[in-house]
Every structure is written in structure tokens, then in C-alpha cells.
Amino acid sequence: MIKELTFQITKNEEIIDITEDIKKILKESKVKEGLLTAYTCHATGSIIINENYDPNVGLDLLNLLDKNIPQGIWKHDKIDGNGAAHLKASILGPSESIPIKDNELVLGTWQSLMLIGFDGPKTMKVVVKISN
């Protein structure tokens, strides 16, 4: 089963918790055991799993990436000015896979799936694949 979701990134860099949206798709699938993969179809976006309770974790991640991958010094910037966004997305990757048990995502207590846009504002697509 494959489903698509869209999310609006409203800032230049933004993290959106997409866990509940993903859980709805899983419930509809009625898959009891398997694997769910969430993938973003954007070269300047990533999907990660991290803590959802403290929003500072996400801000710390963005700050870490900004300090280590500054804007405006990359060869790709001559094309469209978003070289840093491409590098950040490449480091974090476009997808995450999570086991499914009893029609639930096997995530830790504080873990969530998050979509990160590094070159907003824009609408971003996430493809969800459920395999049993």
C-alpha cells in the first residue's frame, strides 16, 4: 500500500511532526505486522525520528546544521542559492522505516516522525509505503 501526504512548510527551515498523520494511514491499512517507510520527494527535505516532547531538540538540530553548513558558500549557490539546504537534506536523508506491531508503529516513548524542510516556504510531499 502506498499513500501520499502533503505538508506546508511556512518558514525557510521548519520541522513538522507528522506522526499522527502517518498513524492514521497505518490504522486505515489494518496491517498488523510489517514495515512502514516514510519518504519525502524533495532534494531539500528530510524525514527524521527524534524526540517530540521538547521542541528545543528540533531547534538544536537546526542550529547545529546552520553552524556547520552555513548559507552562501557552496558552488550550487550559483545556481539557485540553496546549496546549504541540499547538503543538510543529504546528511539527514529523505526517509525513515519503522516496524509495525499490532497495527502500531514501534516507536520509543518520546520518538516521533518529523519532516524537515530546508528551503521553504513550499508544499512538501511525503510518500508512505506499508509492507506486510
- Tens digit of each residue's pLDDT (9 = 90 or more) over 54-71: 989 999 999 999 999 999
Q: Is the pLDDT of residue 48 over 90?
A: yes
CB 126 within 8 A of CB 47: yes
Q: Is the pLDDT of residue 15 over 90?
A: yes
Annotated domain spans of the chain: 1-46+97-132
Tell me, which fold does domain 1-46+97-132 have in CATH? Jelly Rolls (2.60.120)
pTM: 0.95
Q: Which residues contact 105 (CB under 8 A, 6 or more apart)?
A: 19, 22, 23, 26, 36, 98, 99, 113
pLDDT value for 79: 93
Whole-number Å distance between alpha carbons of 76 and 71? 11
Whole-number Å distance between alpha carbons of 3 and 36? 11
